[in-house]
Amino acid sequence: MFERFSLYKIDNIHQIPFDSKLYSKYKYGDHIQAKKFGDQLAHAFINQFHSFILKGEQQFICISSPFGCVPPAAFFIFKTFCEILNDFLVENGREQIEERKIVRVGTISEDYSLLSRSERLMRINEERYFIDKNGLENKFLLFLDDIRITGMHEKNIIDLLAKTNIRNRRLFIYYAELINENIPPAFEHQLNTCFVKSLDNILDIINEKSFILNTRVIKEILRSDHKQIDHFLSNISDNLLIKILNLSIESHYNLMKEFLPALRQIESYFKNRENNVMN
């Protein structure tokens, strides 16, 4: 049994084996694309491991990529993957999967996709991961994420399992994997921003009515300049504005000096909008 499965392998940045613009839209909240990618990944996984899935005796535990309060884009691939795998298991008389989460404590203000391999290692060491090991005995673990670039997150999870004395059989599953080590990790940023290059592009996704908020979108807003944020806020609903504000505070972004000016701007904008409604 392999320890890693990926639907797409990236060996040449000029020959991406999937639609990079749709991937960019997915990373910034396009829920329709997330569901499509999850569907593709689930069916590829079932086709590749059909016999193992049906003949295995262990229950599958599906575990999403680590997050705190706000899920990353990969979580929505994960949800569709789990739904499709569950349907297949039930149709074939197998036990349903159980969904689990690795809790991440701490985060960084920088765009992770811009960092070098050494910078990623340094930043990721600032994060802490937790997993509940209760009920994992004799279960097969499936760890799901959207893309593997340097393997740093995978290594962190493996280290967590070792520290927690979780020795289950496991498989890491990715929508895509960078297999050419000569390609700089910052290539990930090119991929993520192939379509979304500004908050205006995020507004385009919101207006397509398939938008779902994720941690990348919130951080992108908080890293933007005053003028961009003002334009963005003037074009979103009250409900979305409140959600961005509340989730930012729940995620403790208000304690990060890099995000504080933007959060104060959003709070001020919200209060002014409330006052205008009351008047």
Q: Between 260-278 and 238-250, two packed helices, what is the crossing angle to 10 degrees? A: 140
CATH number of the domain bearing residue 52: 3.40.50
Q: Are residues 169 and 206 in the same domain?
A: no
Q: Are residues 64 and 164 in the same domain?
A: yes
**pLDDT at residue number 78:** 98
**pLDDT at residue number 1:** 47
Q: Are residues 184 and 264 in the same domain?
A: no
Question: Looking at 133, 161, 192, which one is the last position of a domain?
Answer: 192
Mean pLDDT of the chain, nearest integer: 92
Q: How many domains would you assign to the chain?
A: 2
**pLDDT at residue number 260:** 94
Whether the pTM exceeds 0.85: the reply is: yes
For residue range 197-249, list pLDDT tens digits in order: 999 999 999 999 899 999 999 999 999 999 999 999 999 999 999 999 999 99
Q: Are residues 42 and 89 in the same domain?
A: yes
Q: Are residues 188 and 206 in the same domain?
A: no
Q: Are residues 141 and 268 in the same domain?
A: no
Ranges in the chain, pLDDT < 50: 1
Edge-to-edge strands of the sheet including 59-67? 4-10, 170-178, 139-148, 59-67, 98-105, 128-130
| Domain interval for residue 226 | 199-278
Question: Looking at 148, 163, 192, which one is the last position of a domain?
Answer: 192
Q: Are residues 138 and 248 in the same domain?
A: no
Q: Are residues 12 and 47 in the same domain?
A: yes
Q: End-to-end CA distance of the chain: give it in Å, rounded.
A: 66
Question: Looking at 165, 192, 219, which one is the last position of a domain?
Answer: 192
